[in-house]
Amino acid sequence: MSSYTHELQTALLAVQRATLLTQKVFHTHAKGTLSKSDHSPVTIGDFGAQALIISALRHNFPSDEIVGEEEASFLRENPSLAEQIFALVKESKLEDAEAEGQLGGPVKDAEAMLRAIDAGSSGGGSKGRIWALDPVDGTKGFLRGGQYAVCLALIVDGDVKVGVLGCPNLPVDDAAQLSADVGGEGRGVLFAAVQGEGATSRPLTEGKLAEGKSIAMKEVQDIAQATFCESVEAAHSSHGDQAEIAKRLGISKDSVRMDSQAKYGSIARGAGDLYLRLPVRKDYEEKIWDHAAGDLIVREAGGEVTDANGKRLDFGIGTTLKDNKGVVAAPKAVHEAVLKVVKEVLSGT
């Protein structure tokens, strides 16, 4: 039995419950977009999902620290919005009583919800048990009805031990061809990994967990036939550099652009092959919650994940990947070749 069985089970159920709330928000609440101080969009789905997940973590692991993306000061200044979000949080429960009980049941009241949101205030670091949470990764994708993910990872002494991604708009079928399209039935998947134990996918449900099955990255025999994943937003990754890298690798297929860590899950199960996130500004620091779960899932599925200089991503130095620039994720057999071209393009050689 895994030494992280309880953590994995809790993370899977917590993410699954939170995705139910995000889907309800999308279909019924016109998303309720706000703007944070850095002008990035935040929705009532972000606040509600963070409250639900942190509530479950505090019930199961009360002494663990949590790094969350949101904080509740705006909601405290806007009590009517807080009540609107609490109404959603209160309604969002798993249909299986045992599974819901494992998460501690419903959040008691609006004040408990605000306290839960604010409990995600850890500064990260290299010591102890720290959960990294992104309640709605890919907010712009969520707003446009595209790909987004609910992301949760456990970092122990700076090392990612458990990672879970809930991707409501990805196809359940691991063999489905990678595309940015989100229409049709049979969508909603949970990806998960525990360090040293491989990676899995399973359908999202509204109750107890579905059975998981092992996933693995596709073997790439000919790199020219590989499929790239990249960010939709040009502000997140340099599309021009990516196109030049593809050209030098002999890749002629169009890249597939999608938001969120759904890209990590997609390449981990072999629906795509390569994920590049190339630096657009020298001063930009990636957030740990945007990569921790996906990094582990890809590595446990047989991939390699480094930054653009070939260094492993370091999740133990705070809330950002300040010692890393960019991300290069690929099957182990071709990672070195991809990285070589990335370095050449970024250095202008």
Is the four-CA dihedral 80, 142, 11, 131 of positive or negative sign?
A: negative
Helix (H) or strand (E) holding 214: strand 213-215
Q: DSSP string covering 311-341, please?
A: PPP--SSSSB-TT--SEEEEEHHHHHHHHHH
Q: Is 20 exposed, middle or buried (0-12, 13-18, 19+ CB in 10 A)?
A: buried
* 299 token code pair: 């590595």
Q: Strand pairing of 274-277 and 228-230? A: parallel
Indicate the SS3 state at residue 65: strand
Catalytic residue among 19, 43, 46, 118: 46
Active site residue 43: no
Give the C-alpha separation, 56 to 54, whole Å.
Answer: 5
Radius of gyration, CA atoms only, the chain: 19
CA distances from 250 to 222, 336, 339, 341 (A): 10, 16, 14, 11
Q: Is 196 exposed, middle or buried (0-12, 13-18, 19+ CB in 10 A)?
A: exposed
Catalytic residue among 139, 200, 227, 306: 139
Q: Are 210 and 236 in contact, with CB atoms under 8 Å apart?
A: no
Active site residue 139: yes
Give the C-alpha separation, 230 to 254, whole Å.
Answer: 11
* 144 token code pair: 């446009």
Active site residues: 46, 139
